[in-house]
Structure 1
């Protein structure tokens, strides 16, 4: 009798499929749906939505530099000149600068990206349905891997049952159809379930994409309404939405682009490469574990927020990043420690 093998295979597929469906529902759940905020999205929220923790760190550094509260030297050393703060992200930056009020740009940026205040921005955007939490995305990916294993077990059990059925004498075979048809139907059912639970690769939800399009497509360039001086609002709005390339200050732009040139993908990229060489990885760091397109791109490595958009390897030691003599700025291959390399095709996810 091949029914025993079929029941086992069906139980594996159903249990794994239910797990994948449940994980997908949890990822898509919006705890606090509020609709699109229109053009009233705060500056740092817009920066996170458009470019993740790295964009938030760059926006804060540029804002403080424009207001004369910090200086970025040609050696890419950041020096604080004023301890006043406007929000908790600036408090995190000042704390990261240390008692001396001075730190290398790469190290400072990485500390700000990993700070709880920046990570909470991503949580806030996810709660209102503009982004998907990467930890929940990874749970869906893991659940779907179990479904894949269940399908492989179905194939193995189907082959075993068919061979056992065919090896019996004709008189002892079941009068029902051969087991291959039942197992093939179960396999097809599992494949359809697998396709239905595909989580997508973008961290930005369709609502988040519409929000960014709304802010970018208006006739008047978007600018934040509060917390920014009138003179710098237009510049900071452009930086938040489009990245450091929109900055007019050539010297500061060169300092910031020295490392991010190899990281930036599309303007709505969410490859958040702030994973560390020790300690737990913050929630909003690393790339989705199954790669990315449309809302994430390439792979992410990074003991010091280094990475490459496509082919960079995880090679250099964790201690070599962020020093004033050898920053993580090469645009092709130098990036974080191997301990940051996670599942799938991404590192630091």
Structure 2
């Protein structure tokens, strides 16, 4: 009868994971975070490079486009070996300031490390907060809450399925048929899988960087060649040296 304690643990894990997802859904339903706001002035105003990058790919994409933009203006050297070296000593804007601050007094870092530090900078967080206030970006609090709950539920569903399989194949059933054991494990599995299906429909917008209003603004930006880097990322970088710098892995 060892399968019964395993079943109880699987059921408890499913209930906890579903409760966390329910809590995230309730939090996302707060009127302050509602993503179905009507069209406003923010949607009518053209997006800039950094704003488009955030809505498409989040902080990492903002860091990426900032590095390439600086390199194209001759303010930063991106070597094909994967190292970045500052040329400018004074930033032209806040995001360039984040790059120079991350480079530090040595004025040189591996591109992968520099990109990560810029993505985590206060300047990029401020950009996300401005877009969130304009209802173009999903608030970081809600996005993190929903993403964490979904990750836990997905792992739980896989864990319940694995526990059921182990119980069927390896543990004694104590007089119960395999169909009975499978049926009991099917209950927490159905609970978790059903919750995932519902969440995929109802909570999908909260797992993205852009709100529906922001996504509409990005669709307008896709027609502008100057914003191709923000929309498509490294695929839009034509310079071989810059592309190599952004994709090569280096040791600091």
Q: Same fold (TM over 0.5)?
A: yes
> Larger % of helix: which?
2
Deviations 1:123-176 (A, max 9, x none): 222222222134323435778989x9xxxxxxxxxxxxxxxxxxxxxxxxxxxx
Matches within 5 A, 1:144-223: 195=198, 198-200=202-204, 201-217=207-223, 221-222=224-225
**Helix, strand or coil: the match of 2:136?**
coil
Q: Which of these residues, 247, 254, 257, is aligned with residue 244 of structure 2?
A: 254
- 1:110 is matched with 116
Q: Is the 8 A contact 1:129 1:205 kept in 2?
A: yes
Matches within 5 A, 1:67-86: 67-86=73-92
Q: Which of these residues, 221, 229, 235, is aligned with residue 245 of structure 1?
A: 235
Distance (Å, rounded) in 2 between the aligned partners of 1:58 and 1:21: 32
Distance (Å, rounded) in 1 between the aligned partners of 2:71 and 2:82: 13
Structure 1 residue 99 displacement after superposition: 0.7
Q: Is the 8 A contact 1:70 1:81 kept in 2?
A: yes
Distance (Å, rounded) in 1 between the aligned partners of 2:25 and 2:116: 35
Change (3 A) 1:38 1:241: farther
Q: Is the 8 A contact 2:77 2:84 kept in 1?
A: yes
- 1:136 is matched with 142
**CA RMSD of the aligned region, Å?**
3.9
Change (3 A) 1:140 1:256: closer
- 2:184 is matched with none
Structure 1 residue 211 displacement after superposition: 1.3
Structure 1 residue 111 displacement after superposition: 0.7
Distance (Å, rounded) in 2 between the aligned partners of 1:36 and 1:241: 18
**Helix, strand or coil: the match of 1:37?**
helix
- 1:24 is matched with 28
- 2:105 is matched with 99
Which one has a bigger Cα radius of gyration?
A: 1
Distance (Å, rounded) in 2 between the aligned partners of 1:20 and 1:103: 38
Q: Is the 8 A contact 2:55 2:209 kept in 1?
A: no
- 2:251 is matched with 323
Q: Is the 8 A contact 2:98 2:118 kept in 1?
A: yes
Change (3 A) 1:204 1:78: same
Distance (Å, rounded) in 1 between the aligned partners of 2:87 and 2:148: 47
Matches within 5 A, 1:274-285: none
Q: Is the 8 A contact 1:77 1:105 kept in 2?
A: yes
Q: Is the 8 A contact 1:23 1:143 kept in 2?
A: no
Query: Relative CO higher for 1 or 2, CA cutoff 8 Å, sep ≥ 6?
Result: 2
Change (3 A) 1:101 1:208: same
**Helix, strand or coil: the match of 1:243?**
helix
Structure 1 residue 195 displacement after superposition: 3.9
- 1:180 is matched with none
Unaligned runs of 5+ in 2: 1-14, 157-190
Distance (Å, rounded) in 2 between the aligned partners of 1:125 and 1:96: 23
Structure 1 residue 258 displacement after superposition: 2.9
Q: Is the 8 A contact 2:33 2:139 kept in 1?
A: no
Task: With the length of structure 1 as denominator, give the TM-score of the two structures.
Answer: 0.47
- 1:178 is matched with none
Structure 1 residue 323 displacement after superposition: 2.0
